Amino acid sequence: MKKRLVSLLLACLMLLTLAPAALAEEAPVQPELVARVKDIIEVDGYKFKDLNDNGALDPYEDWRLTPAERADDLLSRMDATQMAAQMVHLTLVTKKDSWFSKDNVGFALVYEYIFDMPEDDEEDEEEEEEDEEAVVLTGSAMNAAVRTNEIQELSESAPLGIPVIFSMDTEAGAAFIKDATFLPDEINLGAANDKALTEQYYQVLREELRAVGVQMALSPDADLITDPRWGRNQECYSEDTDVVKDLITVAVQTLQGGSALTPDSVIATVKHFPGAGAQTNGVDGTPLTISEDSIALHLAGFEAAIAAGAAAVMPYGYSTVPYLGGDAVENSADQSAAVMTDLLRGQLGYTGIIQTDWGLNFTGAANAGADILGGAGVRSTRALVDEVAGERLADACRRILIAKFELGLFENPYVDETKAETVIGSEAHRAVAKEAAAASFTLVKYENAAPLAGTSFVVAGELAQDVRCLNSGWTVKEPAEIKGASILEALQAKAGAENVTYIADAAGVPADLSGVTAVVVVGEKSGTHDPAWGAATLEFPEEQVALINALDQAGANVVAVVVMNRAYVLTPVVDAADTVLLVYRPGVTSGAEAVADTLFGEHAVTGKLPFQIPASMEQVLAQREDLPKDIENPLFDYGFGIDAESFGR
């Protein structure tokens, strides 16, 4: 008995000794607060933002509470119109102050509005001289940061002070900022199939987005490549489910910094549920041909992304899913309860945010289970209030608010405008983009290759001069100029312009090129949903085939560099060229330099095909749109690639 009492006394003493340390560990840590409009108040020795301007600390303003507790309190203070406004994801081409200060919309997709610095005029310069506090812009990155901060300031001024989340189409990097690092498209990551390099890639994207105040990436894509005709294959990793699962996991975890959102995260929006690769006849926007024996394959990448903690999932906005039945037969995936409520939430158990694709039927999408409505505007809120049940609005709004609290935006939605220029397009980021491109390049034929260094050679083909073809079309649109070198310019810079002869087409090919290397660039121009050649064919245009044949007949050592967004019928190129190098969409920022360095033998070529290469269109027509690796006797099979330690040596 005495021993037991002594033991109890010792245990109590230990608890008393540890208690102060335990209490110290549990003491709240004051986060950094930045307020431009509302006051900062002090309670219990801590500071808080008085977001509703009532002079008191309300639960939703109390960062010591959990995001769910804060969201519930804020939700209780909101009417249906305010809830609906949080679901609005408008497209920011121009800005109207009231969208944010009065309506307090939830999301904004950044487009041309933040792309470049505004043109200065004399009046603006005079005003800046008079106002000593005026921000002096030093470049497009700082301009973007200033503009997102200005909008956050407007949101802070709204009655409840709810911050906005900025998003961006990020298939090519932060490519709606002029000086950003335009990364290779996802297909290049699939060809490299390197998880460590993929992590570096998404770290660059995360850092550049955060530098300008963008907290939501509208990527990565978990779509499985199953039909070579689909123009959006360039946005996908592979037709191998294991590769998709591995890389999508890395992408989600890197963008978000783990499985849960924190103030350092960028929301990963995984697309396009339930798998948009199975388009009818490869035509984008047609019914998906997913069936009983392929549904599991298409869902595999999404299941991996959900397991990794993906904060948002985007159902496809342009295709129905007849296999699922119900309203999925007539409605696009992001308007379908069968897709979003039954399959995504019910069967897969997803509890995060459902973000629609850009559409028009916002009430239909909300009623079917969507939380954030892509392409909606302030005018949409009235219809949402009238046609969507209050419980559904509250359910969606609660998820949105929790994410915003987790991201720390209520405490500090602003970014350091002066640091944006040092992050965006940095040398370190450019180096990662270049490495990601080079690691993806794939040799499918490698004969008679000769070193280019110290020689004079030919560069041929219209695409050799096309900068935009180095990425998909998910960049700022023409006529806006983007910064980068064409393959021709990169080779001229490498060899000296005097050592490079450019030939545009077959008519310009001289009769005799014996002993001369001719680098001919072929493939499709940049595009998004609809590929330049259309979905009906994967055969090279006559003028490109004629050019390669003319170079071959002139006796040149033909090196075909194929810029490709999908699996072309390479047969005529392989027949006429000595070497065939696939570079996919290597990125505007460093892609051309990576091609030049590769052809000059400065690094190994190790990429492997992320999809099968058909030998003919007959093979393409015979395969199923919804099954991977089902081309019989392809010209080159999935995973093929010739390794070369140093090109031409």
pLDDT band at 118 (very low <50, low <70, confident <90, very high): low
Task: Render pLDDT for 25-35 as a digit per residue (tens, 0 to 9).
Answer: 589 999 999 99
pLDDT band at 465 (very low <50, low <70, confident <90, very high): very high
Predicted pLDDT at 9: 40
The candidate with the shortest Cα–Cα distance to 356, out of 342, 343, 338, 368, is 368
The candidate with the shortest Cα–Cα distance to 319, out of 298, 302, 334, 307, is 334
Residue 380 amino acid letter: S
pLDDT band at 1 (very low <50, low <70, confident <90, very high): very low
Distance linking the first and last C-alpha atoms of the chain: 86
Give the span between the Cα atoms of 405 and 397, in whole angstroms.
Answer: 12
Domains of the chain, by residue range, sit at 219-354, 441-622
- Which residue is listed with tokens 């095909």? 609
pLDDT band at 121 (very low <50, low <70, confident <90, very high): very low
Q: What is the dihedral of CA 228, 232, 233, 235, to 10 degrees?
A: 180
Give the span between the Cα atoms of 227 and 623, in whole angstroms.
Answer: 8
Q: b/e string for 556-575 if b means 16 or more Cβ within 10 A?
A: bbbbbbbbbbbbbbbebbbe
- Which residue is listed with tokens 């290469």? 613
Task: Render pLDDT for 53-77 as a digit per residue (tens, 0 to 9).
Answer: 999 999 999 999 999 999 999 999 9
Residue 49 amino acid letter: K
Determine what percent of the chain is predicted with pLDDT higher than 70. Answer: 93
Q: b/e string for 291-318 if b means 16 or more Cβ within 10 A?
A: eeebbebbbbbbbbbbebbbbbbbbbbb
The pTM assigned to this predicted structure is: 0.94
Residue 21 clears pLDDT 70, i.e. is over it: no
Predicted pLDDT at 53: 97
Residue 124 clears pLDDT 50, i.e. is over it: no
CB 579 within 8 A of CB 447: yes
**What SS3 class is residue 355?**
strand
pLDDT band at 133 (very low <50, low <70, confident <90, very high): low
Sheet of strand 312-315: strand arrangement: 353-354, 312-315, 267-273, 216-217, 165-168, 107-110, 88-92, 373-374
Predicted pLDDT at 134: 60
Task: Render pLDDT for 230-289 as a digit per residue (tens, 0 to 9).
Answer: 999 999 999 999 999 999 999 999 999 999 999 999 999 999 999 999 999 999 999 999
Residue 24 clears pLDDT 90, i.e. is over it: no
Predicted pLDDT at 139: 85
Non-local CB neighbours of 478 within 8 Å, separated by 6+ positions? 468
Non-local CB neighbours of 346 within 8 Å, separated by 6+ positions? none
CB 585 within 8 A of CB 541: no
Tokens of residue 198, six digits: 């993929």
> What mean pLDDT comes out for the span 366-382?
97
Higher pLDDT, 363 or 93: 363
What does the radius of gyration of the chain's CA atoms come to, in whole angstroms? 27
> What mean pLDDT comes out for the span 362-387?
98
- Which residue is listed with tokens 């020689």? 455
The secondary structure of the chain in percent helix, strand, coil, rounded to multiples of 5, reads: 40, 15, 45
Task: Render pLDDT for 172-213 as a digit per residue (tens, 0 to 9).
Answer: 999 999 999 999 999 999 999 999 999 999 999 999 999 999
> What mean pLDDT comes out for the span 330-349?
98
Averaged pLDDT of the chain: 94
- Which residue is listed with tokens 């850092």? 207
CB 214 within 8 A of CB 110: yes
H-state helical runs in 415-475? 420-423, 427-440
Strands 373-374 and 88-92: parallel
Going from the C-alpha of 625 to that of each of 139, 280, 320, 501, 566, the distances in angstroms are 46, 7, 15, 42, 14
Secondary-structure class of domain 219-354 per CATH: alpha beta
DSSP bridge pairs for 354: 313
Q: Which of 1-15, 228-242, 404-418, 433-447 has the lowest mean pLDDT?
A: 1-15
Give the span between the Cα atoms of 386 and 45, in whole angstroms.
Answer: 45
Predicted pLDDT at 122: 38
Predicted pLDDT at 257: 98
Strands 517-523 and 457-460: parallel
* Other CB atoms within 10 A of residue 134 CB: 11
CA angle 548, 633, 551 (to 5 degrees): 5
CA angle 64, 68, 73 (to 5 degrees): 80
Q: Is 78 exposed, middle or buried (0-12, 13-18, 19+ CB in 10 A)?
A: buried
Tokens of residue 294, six digits: 């392929």
Give the span between the Cα atoms of 256 and 264, in whole angstroms.
Answer: 7
> What mean pLDDT comes out for the span 557-568?
98
Span 441-622: which CATH code? 3.40.50.1700
Give the span between the Cα atoms of 12 and 5, in whole angstroms.
Answer: 11
> What mean pLDDT comes out for the span 28-57?
98
pLDDT band at 137 (very low <50, low <70, confident <90, very high): confident
DSSP bridge pairs for 167: 109, 216
> What mean pLDDT comes out for the span 298-327?
98
Task: Render pLDDT for 510-538 as a digit per residue (tens, 0 to 9).
Answer: 999 999 999 999 999 999 999 999 999 99
